[in-house]
Chains A and B, each alone.
Chain A
């Protein structure tokens, strides 16, 4: 049996990324220290190569490798978002790694491997493939989290992430094994059929579903599976934190939505309530605990937990028992829109954090932003826009994202959920604005020590420019993205 060419074509982007990763890992030992940047450009080049291929594949739903993966606009949307996020992360890392003296070629290799895992996750329609994708993503991220090998906190982040991550994927795998027992196959379509046969009350099915909720809940960091997030985000190198906070969350949501709608859509009467509880708990805890944080990376970690809670609203809407098709797809497309918006603003915020240097170290405390508006007005203004957008204040993209989500909730008759979400969005303004306050409303006591300053570089400027452009343009003119998500979500079965 030979592989048909069409199958190869379907996974061409994945192949390119994996090949680039191998090339980077292979070239790393023979590349002199001064030339390590070339590896970054090589990685970036591979992503640029993938973009047109994925765009050309955006048309209809094509399945490949006898239904292990599919190519539909839904998957392509996530892939494009992942290319963008990874590309910006590579640019962000260029200066950051140098400053941290961890400028190793492997870094880019692992980044690309992780990315290929994410790409597999979002296009897989078979639980085995999804599991392999998550493992590829996570194993690379475990290593990346500990990349500051000489700093105890980074290693600790890596160790914690590893223990909890492998624990949760063990739970996920057990769920998958039970589902296989019920359906006799790991295909999502076969599982959907089995669900339709078995009905809602099958205990094995429901237990498997709960185990999957735990496994995916860990990856997207929702309460009560969120505990690793603040610790790992704080300890990991900032560029990796940005990558984890955005790319891995985006990819996990992509797989999560597909599994629960294409595979377990028949069980939505069961998971709807669970997600509702998880969603509310996440909104409450994420937003409340963020208030007392003093470390900006931790604060952003709680904020990313809270944002996962907002995104869940869209899935809850899709799971509501008596929703019509239009409302369901509105809920799901608003999840996609929200995550795209979230990618820009979170990446931008982390880029500013990564740029801030205090002596030879990172300025990670919120206090380190004191009086920034005076010394670095443009950087402070960028941070202001990112914070305002995260808080969901118009006319930034953050508002558009929340607006569509809440609108979907209200349309689905979940106005009360929208009320809760709106109130917690109001609370969130408090902690985001605190960063603005220290930047704009306090003066730095120079005598106290070294003034944190910005290590700017051309690559970093590109990252910030992209992020701010995304936040502003999507806020003022979200139309193209909205039509893209609206049409992409229709291909989801």
Chain B
């Protein structure tokens, strides 16, 4: 029974994918969306039962579906591991996923490709569920690639926008860089343990040397950085906002991007053995948290602000992992899923109301017109800013407190500064959107309307969760949540040194910080709106730098994209002068001895002219020019290959090249 329920959790959305994907054109949108959210709803119910069972028994259980790969000493099952960590992830993924599916019914109403949208969303759910449920690295990897593919398809959903297609490709390629790291980690694990099952790997982890553990952990971290948009691979996430808003909420805020955090927590046994990797994780997280927050300060697109805020909050989760506060990381992951989904979906409701407008400079004064959306967004803001006693307060405070009590003072300072900035930019966003004078275009203003119940309903649920979602984790480090997760996250050196006084002091400090951010935003955007412009004008360079996101995209362009093109040019030059010259040279030489000098001259001049010609022709697509279409060139290449091979052998035999031999 238990096995069946567990299997059903991913199987149900998969069935919906197959039905909608293959037969979707044959029935109405009504059927398609009911299949879409209905399957996720039933999955959610199954997940609750599975959760209750785990709560009762308190042990990790494995469910094997079938043997996937078998050969020699390698056996990999398509199997699921149900332990407390998986249970929490299951509830978050199916629960938030269900709400977002429901919301999409209203949001995507009347859009082209409605059925396609639900097919992709369900496919995403399947992949994400495989990711969190798998009992070995390879199943995790299937899910990992699957969510990447769905993210790609969904970012590019509005395919008539060029920017959407570009953003989709960027997201996919950047993610593939991370995935390459992850795949290497998998190979390293296999070589060292001869298995890929978590339980066996972690049981034998003790025999690993620190260096190997560090190598595996760093490779895993590269994967996590790509998927969870950390420095230096975070640039895809803000661009990913080209996708529909429910996609941003589900994939790029609540679930997929947190996969990296899940993966690190899942592998905490390996990380605990690799202090260097831990420190790296902590600093990557801390710096990302701060860096993304500063960019978030000045962005003008409502979804982009939220995107940078997501990057920043993911940074907090990494920071928590890096200092060994795994339960806190998962706790923040959960609360973040609630309030960030809430924020994105209510932002979607704002965008919906304003007929697609996303620029906050063209908003303002919306409080009266869309009161429900306003109050829901405000709840989300209060939660993310860390105002007592909302969900974000407990989880973020716990991370900061852990950093302080475990003597990571620099990271604590970064986290506190980040928290201040978070509070500031979120309230800035709220003020600019809902308060003050309306700057809405008057054509748009006529059509402002509150969203339908099917959209507001899920938002209310998420708002309630954002308010109460923190209580399972109270008191910090000793709450019900932590006790439940303990079997899955116990690491080394889990001591509880913080006294009650210190805890209260840190909590008060966090609250004060959050309130300061709120206060500053209130002053700048409500009390004295002109002051903000004055500040920006006062430091134009800093403002421009932030507005241009530290020019990171431009730097990548300069450091990676341009050199690649240069390489292409070099190859082109090589081809034109050397290859052409070689063929031409051979021809001249053999034609007649007396023509040699003429041939050589022509060859040199020919080459020179070509270089000059190519000075104009500075295009990237040049490597393929090797493929000249001339049979002679191809034959020459074969002979050249023959000589290269002979040469290689000679070099290996004698340790010197042909020229060296000739001189000898």
Contact = CB atoms under 8 A, between A and B. Distances in A.
B172 interface: yes
Interface in A147-204: 159-160, 163-164, 167-168, 171, 201
Interface string B160-175: 1000110011001100
B631 A164 contact: yes
A477 interface: yes
A285 to B, nearest CB: 8
B72 A289 contact: no
Interface residues of A, number: 74
A277 B648 contact: yes
B226 to A, nearest CB: 10
A224 B638 contact: yes
B180 interface: yes
Interface stretch (B307-315, B584-592, B622-630): B622-630
B626 to A, nearest CB: 8
Contact of B172 (A171, A410, A423, A429): A429
A418 B184 contact: yes
Interface stretch (A250-258, A354-362, A479-487): A479-487
A292 B145 CA distance: 25
Interface stretch (B41-49, B149-157, B470-478, B601-609): B149-157
A292 B621 contact: yes
A292 B624 contact: yes
Contact of A227 (B72, B141, B183, B637): B637
Nearest to B153: A440
Contacts of B22: 378
B173 A430 contact: yes
A206 B652 CA distance: 12
A476 B70 contact: no
A410 B156 contact: no
Contact of A330 (B68, B72, B145, B621): B72
A45 interface: no
Nearest to A409: B187
B646 A224 contact: no
A483 B70 contact: yes
A280 to B, nearest CB: 12
A437 interface: yes
A210 B649 contact: yes
Contacts of B116: 373
Contacts of B146: 394-395
B173 A429 contact: yes
B69 A214 contact: no
A481 B23 CA distance: 31
A207 B177 CA distance: 41
A406 B183 contact: yes
A65 B637 CA distance: 39
Nearest to B182: A422
Interface in A387-415: 388, 393-395, 399-400, 403-404, 406-407, 410-411, 415
Given A224-B644, A274-B649, A486-B71, A442 B631 contact: no
Contacts of B641: 214, 217, 223-225
Nearest to B75: A479
Contact of B169 (A406, A433, A479): A433
A440 B159 contact: yes
Nearest to A429: B176
A244 to B, nearest CB: 16
A292 B156 contact: no
Contact of A441 (B138, B164, B187): B164
B648 A224 contact: no
B75 to A, nearest CB: 10
B642 A214 contact: yes
Interface in A208-254: 210-211, 213-214, 217-218, 223-225, 227-228, 230-231
Contact of B623 (A171, A292, A410): A292
A67 interface: no
A207 B648 CA distance: 12
A289 B624 contact: yes
Nearest to A388: B149
Interface of A (DSSP majority class): helix
A288 interface: yes
A49 interface: no
A418 B181 CA distance: 11
Contact of A224 (B25, B640, B652): B640
Given A228-B634, A410-B190, A394 B141 contact: yes
A270 interface: yes
Given A225-B638, A430-B169, A482 B69 contact: yes
Interface core residue of A388, A418, A437 (most chain B CB under 10 Å):
A437
Contacts of A270: 649, 652
A440 B638 contact: no
A416 to B, nearest CB: 10
Interface core residue of A227, A231, A399 (most chain B CB under 10 Å):
A227
A298 to B, nearest CB: 9
Contact of A210 (B71, B164, B626, B646): B646
A454 interface: no
A443 B158 CA distance: 10
B531 interface: no
B191 interface: yes
Interface in B99-157: 116, 138, 141-142, 145-146, 149, 152-153, 156
B156 A441 contact: yes
A425 interface: yes
A418 B186 CA distance: 12
A411 B191 contact: yes
B70 A210 contact: no
B398 interface: no
A142 to B, nearest CB: 14
A326 interface: yes
A201 B653 CA distance: 8
Contact of A218 (B66, B183, B638): B638
A441 B645 contact: no
A330 B72 CA distance: 8
A400 B145 contact: no
B69 A437 contact: no
A442 B165 contact: yes
Interface in A21-53: none
A227 B145 contact: no
Contact of B67 (A201, A224, A292, A479): A479
Contacts of B180: 419, 422-423, 425-426
B71 A404 contact: yes
B74 interface: yes
A293 interface: yes
A458 interface: no
Nearest to A433: B172
Contacts of A430: 169, 173
B21 interface: yes
A381 B74 CA distance: 32
A442 B74 contact: no
A415 B190 CA distance: 12
Given A394-B141, A394-B145, A429-B176, A160 B634 contact: yes
Nearest to B622: A292
A273 interface: yes
B175 to A, nearest CB: 9
B98 to A, nearest CB: 24
18 contacts: A160-B634, A164-B634, A210-B642, A210-B649, A213-B645, A231-B629, A277-B648, A293-B624, A394-B142, A400-B69, A403-B69, A426-B177, A441-B164, A441-B165, A442-B165, A443-B159, A478-B69, A479-B67
Given A285-B623, A437-B168, 16 more contacts: A160-B631, A218-B638, A225-B641, A227-B627, A227-B633, A277-B648, A289-B627, A426-B176, A426-B180, A430-B169, A430-B173, A437-B169, A442-B165, A443-B159, A479-B69, A483-B71
Q: Top 7 closest A-B pairs, CB basis? A: A441-B159, A224-B641, A227-B634, A426-B176, A394-B142, A441-B156, A410-B187
